[in-house]
Every structure is written in structure tokens, then in C-alpha cells.
Structure 1
Amino acid sequence: MLYERLTRLPERSFFLLGLRGTGKSTWIRSALPSAVRFDLLDEALFTDLLGDPALFGRMVSAVETGDWVVVDEVQRIPSLLNEVHRQIADRDLRFALLGSSARKLKSAGTNLLGGRALRMAMHPLTAAELSSDFDLDEALRHGTIPLVWAARDRGEVLSSYTQLYLREEIRAEAAVRNLAGFVRFLPVAALMHAQQLNTAAIARDAGVARSTVEGYLEILEDTLVAAPLPALEAKLRVRERRRPKLYWADPGLVRAVKRQFGPVAAEERGALFEGWVLGQLRAHNERQRLYDEIAYWAATESSIEVDFVLRREDKYAAIEVKAAERYNTSFVKGLRAVVDLPGLARRIVIYRGRRAFRTEDGIDVWPIETFHGALRDGELWS
């Protein structure tokens, strides 16, 4: 089944980056059905352009001024971006540049065409996109990457997907010299999902050097599999945590690299649910600009923390995520600790219960349905 995506076609050239299988190619066919298309997964075309990059310029010379050109899997030949840059500047052509990795684009020094093209991201399916098909338990168990979600045997496809990642994104790009070390690293990094990063501990458990782990984490970010969440220095406590947390892009990936395909265990649910909420926020931010920056806050001298602090201009919204089905007053401990944050406009608890209400000191407690509605209707801040 095809779902209507949150992504909207901009008026000018853009990069659209996202995990393999998130539906970039499917979406662009629907958004630009008549555009001239170059699919670099076509090995014949790939070989021709790799051997003669100038051929690309000759091929697009027939495209009318102002028309759209799609280049899929653009990271396979980053040198094409030189010609893309020239065609945008000289002929006002518009390019949709799709990719599943920013690694080679970044290493080639392209700098996303010096600002001539927007940078957009396509995320796994959100609750809003799935609509009545959304199932939280299934989303936490297998994730919502469209390729996986559409499969009859999601666990089997998810397992194959992780092997595809190693084969296509890592080995094909020669991103690591020691593939065995990277394979050991992945499940250890998955254990760090929604946790404060400790590269020394990861290096010890994976049996590789700390500097190697730092390189591996950069690969996860470049290939859009995981990304760090910075710590907010709010100066509300004498000592605040400064190390980032690590969040994977999809709950299914977290479980797959750990070889966990059965029902979600109680000890997994908290981190998976927290990461899923962050995924919803990031996906909706692509379209609605919910925030300018997002971080977490925590005090080092205690267990007090707030999962997500959003900043939009000079205002802040603090969000705490709990996987419990019953509300507990301990849920608001961190939100009460940040009450003196300048510009704090809203404090929210998201939990798996059914009752929505507001505490006496103005903290909103939301079931996931209320959270979905606030994102859909753009009422997160109001």
C-alpha cells in the first residue's frame, strides 16, 4: 500500500537523503512523474557515467530550461555534482538529488552545492502517514521502514535489510577496512540507543580502538542509520551532562542488529519508545519546522533529566517520554527541574496510557493519540 508522505516538493533544487527503503524513489516518481531520471543503480548507466562524467552534461543538455532532473543514488558518483552546479547556475535546471548516504558527498567537498540546493530528509513512516494502519507495538518491534512494513514476513525482511546495509553501504563504499570489527561494533552501538555515548565502553566491548569507534559512529551518522542528540547547557545546575546521546533512526534496526525479532521485551520498551517519539519529532520537523534545535537535558549529580528540549527562536518546549501505561508523579521530576529555563513555553509528558490531563503546575500529560494529533495539527507549542 502507498502512503501519503509528509515530504513536499520544493520549488528549487534539493537533496533528499534517507535510509535505503524509506521510499525516496517511490515518492519522487509520484511527485515528478515526467522528470528526466538518472538511476545510478542501473549498472550500465553507472559504468558509462563513471567512465565519462562529461556524458552527464551532454545528456541533460536536451532538458528544457527550468525543468526537473532526478538523479537517484547520487552518492555513487559525487563528481556529477560539478555538472549539476553548472546546470543550475547557467540554465536554471532544477535537480532532485536522492541518496542513501552523505558520506561520499561530504568527503568530495561538495558542501551540498554551496547552498544552491535544499537539504531534505525522508524518514521511516510516521504515525500520521500510516494513519489507521499505525500499530505502536508493531512499530517498536519491526520499525516502520516502508520496505519492511510492506513485507509479509517483516522479521525476515528486516534481517535481510541489515545485511544489505553492510553489503551496499559499508563494503561498497569501502568505508571501513576492518568489516569484522564494524560487525562487532553494531550490536554494541545498538545497546547505546537512547543512552549517553561512552566511546571507551563501546571500544572495549567491540574489541576495537576508541578512535575506531569514533569513526564508526561517524559512518552511522553519514549513512543515516543513527545520529547523536546533543546535551543542552541550560545552566540550571552546577553540573550538567555534556556528552551526546545516540539515537538510531528506526526501532526495527536497533533490534535487528542485536538479532532480536520476537515481541518487544519490557526492558527494551522504554528506549525504543523514546527513540520512536524522537523520530516523529524529526520527521514532522522536516515539513512543519517545529523547532530550530533539539537536545536533551540532564543533571550529573542526580538521575534528573528531560528527554527532549526543543528550541524555536527564543522559546523552549520540554518533553519527557515514558513507556508506562499508568501515570506516576515521578514522570514530571525532570520537567519540574527545568521550570526556570528562560523562555520555557510548554512542558509535556508522553506516555502509553489513555488519559490526557494537565497537572496543577501546568504540565501536559498526553497519551500517544494526543501527541499524534498535536503533531498533525501543528499544536505542539499551543
Structure 2
Amino acid sequence: MNRGGAVVNPLCLRLGTVPTVVTSQDPGSALAAYAALYVEQEVRAEGLARDVGSFSRFLEAAAFSHAATLNVSELARECETSRTTVAGYLELLEDLLLSFRLPVFTRRAKRRLVAHPRFFYFDCGVYRSLRPAGPLDRPTEIAGPALEGLVAQHLRAWLAYSRADARLYYWRTRGGAEVDFVIYGATGFWAFDVMNADRIRPADLRGLTSFGDEYPEARRVLLYRGSRRIVRRDVLCVPVEDFLRALDPERGLEDASGAGG
């Protein structure tokens, strides 16, 4: 989907892909201003939130739920406001196309699954600009969700532009087994996990292995930061850079992942 410069690099994961940001002479300042000016001014101008200060606190708190299972009640407690207010804020973000939620994949489920959706800001750079960072934050705590968000952006774009007869989900059991992304529909059945590391450990395959036990029909792919395309425990492991570069709305996921041949 991205045919320009490098797709997965520290700069992209920090600044994101918003055109007005990446083409700016000062992308860092443009990104910082995006949430502070565009988002809040849009909300204020439209009279969409009565308390802009409360909404600003919500934007920051929601950043900690980026690429994670979303619990509206917990988020409301963090924002020190009502659940109804936070639910309204979430709907507002989606109406403005600033965020999206992925439902849990529940087809033919044999295990008990979580009920909450997964939350994403629409752009990994916007997430980074809203997510406070301090000395106690490990870099992986921020970079990992940013990478997952970048993959989510590309998968959603591929589904939209290819007009594929499929939807995007995620999968998580009550026991903690999880797969980051599931694509299911007439055009195929795929499970993707995203790992922000260049080496694959056996533990990194547990989610896809559990999903394969439940759904042996699904093609399972681990996207990681390494450089080799390999197969481990019947899971195709693909460099995430290669996969995102190869995503094309005129071609199938088999071509992007290399699973077709």
C-alpha cells in the first residue's frame, strides 16, 4: 500500500502517515499541533463536546488503550468521568474518523472469548503524539502498539481499496491467547500476529498456534522485524516491512505474505 520510502522505520513509527504531517518542513511540530489544534478545534467548533478539557484528558487516557482491548468502564475511571460520557467521546472519535474499534472474531467459537473490542487511533503518529512518555516507560511499551497500529492501518486500507468481501477482527480468549488481526470473509481466512522484534521465540507463536487449533482452515502469519521469510510450527513468519510494501489492492494477501507459493 505504501510505495514511497521505508514503511517500517523509527521515523514512520514516530510521525505516522498523515500527509500534512509527513510533508511538513517540521513534521514533529506539525504532529504535535495536529491533536492540540485540529482535533480539539474541530470538537470545539462543532460543539461536539461540552467540556473540551475533559475531552483532552480522554484523548490522552485513550492513548494507553491503543492496540489494546478496550474497557470503557476502566477508561471512564481513569478520566474521572462517567461511562456514558466516555462512550460518547469514543463515538465522536469514530464519527471524525480519528479512531476505530475491532470486534472479537467469534465464528464457531469453542473457547470462552473476551467481549470487549480492540481500540486504535487511526494513525500511529497521532497515537504517539497523544501518548505521554516518561522515564519509567520502556520504549517497547510505546513502539509495539505503534507498529500494530501501522499494520492495522494498512490492513484496513487494503480491505477498503480492494473491496474485498471480508472484515477485520481480532481474537482473544478468556485464558489470554490472542491474535492481533483476523481477516474473514469470502475472499479468505487469515490470522496475523505482529511482533516488534527481529528474532522469533517459541512463546511468540502461542497465539497463532492456539488459533490454528481452533481454526485449522486459517492461514497464519507472524509479522516481525527480522529479514528472513521462514516457517515455524506451521506458521509463516514474514518481515513486516516486506509484507506492508507488497500489500496491493489489486492483489491478494497470498502475494503480500508469500503464502501462495
Taking structure 1 as the reference length, what is the TM-score of the superposition?
0.62
Counterparts of 1:133 and 1:339, CA distance in 2: 32
2:54 equivalent to 1:181: yes
Q: 1:282 aligns with which of 156, 166, 182?
A: 156
Counterparts of 1:364 and 1:288, CA distance in 2: 23
2:136 equivalent to 1:239: no
CA contact (8 A) 1:356 1:367 kept: yes
Q: 1:359 to 1:167 in 2, by over 3 A?
A: closer
The corresponding residue for 1:24 is none
CA contact (8 A) 1:315 1:344 kept: no
The corresponding residue for 2:143 is 269
Q: 1:160 to 1:360 in 2, by over 3 A?
A: closer
Return the structure number with greater relative CO, CA threshold 8 A, min gap 6. Answer: 2
Decide which structure has the larger Cα Rg and report it: 1
* Count of matched residue positions in the alignment of Structure 1 and Structure 2: 253
Q: One-letter code of the match for 1:213? A: V
The corresponding residue for 2:239 is 367
Q: 2:96 aligns with which of 219, 223, 236?
A: 223
Counterparts of 1:296 and 1:373, CA distance in 2: 22
Q: 1:189 to 1:135 in 2, by over 3 A?
A: same
CA contact (8 A) 2:123 2:153 kept: yes
Gaps of 5+ in 1: 1-125
CA contact (8 A) 1:234 1:341 kept: no
Q: One-letter code of the match for 1:375? A: L
The corresponding residue for 2:84 is 211
Find the residue that maps to 1:176 and give its secondary structure.
Answer: coil
Counterparts of 1:171 and 1:350, CA distance in 2: 40
Q: One-letter code of the match for 1:292? A: A
Q: One-letter code of the match for 1:359? A: R
Counterparts of 1:132 and 1:315, CA distance in 2: 29
Compute the RMSD of aligned alpha carbons. 2.4
CA contact (8 A) 2:164 2:187 kept: no
The corresponding residue for 2:257 is none
The corresponding residue for 1:136 is 9
Q: 1:291 to 1:353 in 2, by over 3 A?
A: farther
**CA shift for structure 1 position 254:** 0.9
Counterparts of 2:60 and 2:129, CA distance in 1: 9
CA contact (8 A) 1:294 1:309 kept: yes
Q: 1:190 to 1:277 in 2, by over 3 A?
A: same
Deviating 4+ runs (over 4 angstroms)? 340-343
**CA shift for structure 1 position 187:** 0.4
Q: 1:134 to 1:276 in 2, by over 3 A?
A: closer
**CA shift for structure 1 position 269:** 1.4
**CA shift for structure 1 position 259:** 4.9
Taking structure 2 as the reference length, what is the TM-score of the superposition?
0.88
Deviations 1:101-134 (A, max 9, x none): xxxxxxxxxxxxxxxxxxxxxxxxx5x24x2354
Find the residue that maps to 1:344 and give its secondary structure.
Answer: coil
Find the residue that maps to 2:192 and give its secondary structure.
Answer: strand
**CA shift for structure 1 position 152:** 2.5
Find the residue that maps to 2:247 and give its secondary structure.
Answer: helix
Q: One-letter code of the match for 1:367? A: P
**CA shift for structure 1 position 221:** 0.5
**CA shift for structure 1 position 360:** 4.5
Counterparts of 1:148 and 1:207, CA distance in 2: 32
Q: 1:328 to 1:153 in 2, by over 3 A?
A: same
**CA shift for structure 1 position 235:** 4.3
Find the residue that maps to 1:350 and give its secondary structure.
Answer: strand
